[in-house]
Structure 1
Amino acid sequence: MDRDLKFTIITEGQKQGIALTCRKYGISRTLYYRWLQRYKSFGISGLDDIKKNFTPVNKTKTEVESTILNLIRKHPNYGPREIKYLLEKIDHHISESAVYNVMKRNNLTTRSKRIRFSNKRQKNITTDLPDFNSIKSGEGWLFWTTFCGCFEGIGPVYEYTIFDFKSRIACTRLYSSLSMEIFEDILTAVAIPVAQHLNLDAKHLCFLQDNKIMDKKNDSFINKIYEILQSHGLEIDIHLLKEQDSCNTLDMIKKHREDYTHGCLSYLMPFVHSGTSFKDLKIGLQKYIRNYNIHQQQDYDGVLYSPIGYHVKAIDSEMVLPLWAYIEREY
């Protein structure tokens, strides 16, 4: 069953009743709720047929590959054997052939290519993971979009979110389309003002790879983002994270995204199906995000904080939120 039909069944169930809808389409309530939960966690894309990714057992882990590339930047004259020895010093024990395979995947098998790679300006997108284990609250931002669906009387609804990995402070807005200009809007009108008032010292901006508004080859977009960041005094590295890879950090990022999206869509669904306007839907989500950031308690290593409460504790600050954090503003 394709995702459009699944979405039709979900929305019809919210309006007409789940039991009646399940009988109409000949599906079980268990299957309906399974689709509903996946929709709430991932948006429309959660209704696609699940495809299991195959990862070769001998493929080097993403975090180790990132370490190898960083060593190549520092030592471009070294070949696979020398890099292997450096890895052993920091307790990464992989074969020389595995190091060579990383070089081959990244087109770094010759000394001249490694030197160019080492000298290359970092004003581009990298697939290297930031060291999320060592970053502080406010330093590692994630960006994603979620297609919520196309609703009667509202039209298409897309959720744009900029999310701090450590504190889980979130900036989210709803829009009716996907575009680079809208990303610039949420960055400059929401995320950067929030960062300035809450002392979020951003050092990394990470795009999840399923993001539809950017192409890693789109240099004009990348340069535009750097210009915006630098005009606000921010020196930020941009990363494109490969969601099909698996490591502890990426699994945690996916879990943050899933939990947060589930909360947003669970809140929005009753309003969507009650026939509210897009304007009121956007204002309603603002209220939810405000409550989420300021009041919603979450577990941080066994201690409960709100996202802003955690950040205030982490940076040892007595900050006072600006007035605009409490008022409803159109956008």
Structure 2
Amino acid sequence: MKFEGFNAHSKHIIIKHALKHKNVSLTCELYGISRTTFYNWFKAYQKSGVTGLQSKEPQKPKMPNKVSKTIENEILTYIERYPADGPKRIYYELKSEGFDIGESGIYNVLKRHSLSKKQERIKYSKDKALNPKEKRKKRTAPIFASAEDIKYPGHCLIQRIDFIGKFDGIGKIYQYSLYDVYSKLGVVKLYNKKQDIDVWYFFEHKIMYLLKTFNLDIEYLFTKKTKVFLPYFVKGNKQKEIIEELKVNHHFVESEESTALESINEFNEFLVKEFYNKVQAENNINSFAKVEREFHKFLRSYNFLRPITSGAKKGKTPAEVVLQKAEENGADFSTLPLWILALLNQKKRVDFK
């Protein structure tokens, strides 16, 4: 006996037959089904009775890459401005502005609007330029009018990545720098390969350690936003985790919009003039490891021994300004690392002479 189709009633008959004769193989042969099919039905019958044998309608597929109208408009607006950029670049840019969308979701939007190819996006951008609509307001970060608006160490920090150049016998040098506008303290990490740059790993293991050591907080952190290095600031979730843990007001800025934020340019220009320009003249600095070693000595001298030459903090070193704030915050100086104490003692000996 064979059924044309198997509904809940017919499945129940087959199961009762097998139970009655205690022979699953005979039942399967009689009704033209496999043992696997029978045991799937039998398991459903044991769990839910005849109801479990009813055929279930296929569920509608979930759409994990479905994009909201707001984000879709952001993608199209971005294409108007930068039609040459593809899904990966758009992903980095939107993530830096706080939009949570995957690269595949962006590609789906482009494909739906016939913009998956570069030439299609360029044509779209030109057509929009001929028929302009009201542009969205550009997100602006809170900007300090001048350095005088910044009142203490940690009030305003700026970070950026720069390609310093390619040096004979040494190779390429990339520089991540974090600069405290108030104290003029600089923290720098050098890399000789772009793919090795890991900003938030360094931030977590170096910057957060210094903050804890000096009992300091960061209120505003500005990240210089450049296309070539933006991926190194927004990849993964570490940025979000650290910013939330430190409760920092973090903003990406495309250009220095105030004299306060321009100060990191002065810091980097100082590094180029006083260190990098002299690297090639030193015959014994002939490897990246030696550049790193010499740079760390130079930076420690800058932070701990070189006095600030102008303003209210004139005569003090960046480290002294930071330590003064740390003392106000109740930092335990007896726990300071020995290298910090040694540098502070060296500064006292220099002042005494």
- TM-score relative to the length of structure 2: 0.49
Give the corresponding residue for 2:299: 289
Does the Cα contact within 8 Å between 1:267 and 1:288 map onto a contact in 2?
A: no
How far apart, in 2, do the equivalents of 1:267 and 1:200 lie?
34
Task: Name 1:258's counterpart in structure 2.
Answer: 269
CA contact under 8 A between 1:268 and 1:285: conserved in structure 2? Answer: no
1:161 to 177, 188, 191: 177
Give yes or no for contact 1:143–1:162 (8 Å, CA) kept in 2.
yes
Which residue in the other structure is 1:225 paired with?
Answer: 239
Counterpart residue number, 1:128: 141
Q: Indicate whether 1:140 and 2:156 are aligned.
A: yes
Contact kept? 2:160, 2:178, Cα under 8 Å: yes
1:235 counterpart letter in structure 2: K
Q: Secondary structure at the match of 1:270?
A: coil
C-alpha distance in 2 between matches for 1:283 and 1:175: 12
Q: Which residue of 2 aligns with 1:277?
A: 287
2:317 is the counterpart of 1:301: no
- Tell me the amino acid that sits aligned with residue 323 of structure 2: V
Q: Does 1:322 align with 2:334?
A: no
Query: For the residues of structure 2 that align with 1:135 and 1:241, how far apart are their CA atoms?
Result: 21
- For 2:190, the equivalent position in structure 1 comes to 174
Amino acid at match of 2:297: K
Write the mapping of 1:80-159 to structure 2, written as runs, cut at 5 A.
106-107=136-137, 127-131=140-144, 133-159=149-175
CA-to-aligned-CA distance 1:231-285 (integer Å, 9 cap, x gap): xx41112212232x654334444334433443342453434x5452211211111
What is the distance in 2 between the residues matched to 1:199 and 1:269?
39
SS of 2:281's equivalent? helix
For residues 204 and 264 of structure 1, do their structure 2 counterparts lie closer, same or farther at Cα, with a shift above 3 Å needed? farther
SS of match in other structure, 1:304? coil
- For residues 6-25 of structure 1, the aligned pairs below 5 Å read none
Once residues 307 and 138 of structure 1 are traced to their aligned partners in structure 2, the CA distance between those partners, rounded to angstroms, is 12
Report the alpha carbon displacement of residue 154 of structure 1 after superposing the two structures with TM: 2.0
Partner of 2:254: 242
> For the residues of structure 2 that align with 1:274 and 1:142, how far apart are their CA atoms?
33
Number of the residue aligned with 1:54: none
How many Å apart are 1:152 and its aligned residue?
3.1
Q: Deviations over 1:191-225 (max 9, x none)?
A: 22122212331122211233632159x8654x421
Based on CA coordinates, which of the two structures has the bigger radius of gyration?
Answer: 2
CA drift at 1:313? 2.8
TM-score, structure 1 normalization: 0.52
Taking structure 1 as reference, are residues 296 and 211 closer, same or farther at Cα in structure 2, changes over 3 Å only?
Answer: farther
Structure 1: tracts of 5 or more residues without a match? 1-103, 109-125
* Count of residues paired in the alignment: 201
The structure-2 alpha-carbon separation of the partners of 1:246 and 1:151, relative to structure 1 and needing over 3 Å to count, comes to: same
SS in 1 for 2:269: helix
Structure 2: give runs of 5+ residues left out of the alignment.
1-133, 343-353
The answer on whether the counterparts of 1:140 and 1:166 sit within 8 Å (CA) in structure 2 is yes
Q: C-alpha displacement at 1:312, in angstroms? A: 2.2
- Alignment partner of 1:192 is 2:192: no
Q: Deviations over 1:124-166 (max 9, x none)?
A: xx64134461452123221122222222332211121111111
The equivalences for 1:54-65 within 5 A come to: none
Q: 1:170 Cα shift?
A: 1.2
| Kept after mapping to 1: 8 A contact 2:156/2:221 | yes
Quote how far apart the aligned CAs of 1:309 are.
0.8
**One-letter code aligned to 1:145:** I
- Offset at 1:311? 1.9
CA distance in 2 between partners of 1:129 and 1:257 (Å): 23
2:216–2:326 contact (8 Å) kept in structure 1: no
Instruction: Name the SS for the 1:299 alignment partner.
Output: coil
Check the 8 A contact 1:138/1:201 in 2, yes or no.
yes
- Sequence identity, in percent? 19
Residue 237 and residue 299 in structure 1: after superposition, are their counterparts in 2 closer, same or farther (change >3 A)? Answer: same
Code of the residue aligned with 1:239 in structure 2: it is H
Greater RCO (CA < 8 Å, at least 6 residues apart): 1
State the alpha-carbon separation in 2 of the partners of residues 277 and 253 from structure 1: 27
Alignment of 1:65-76 (within 5 A): none
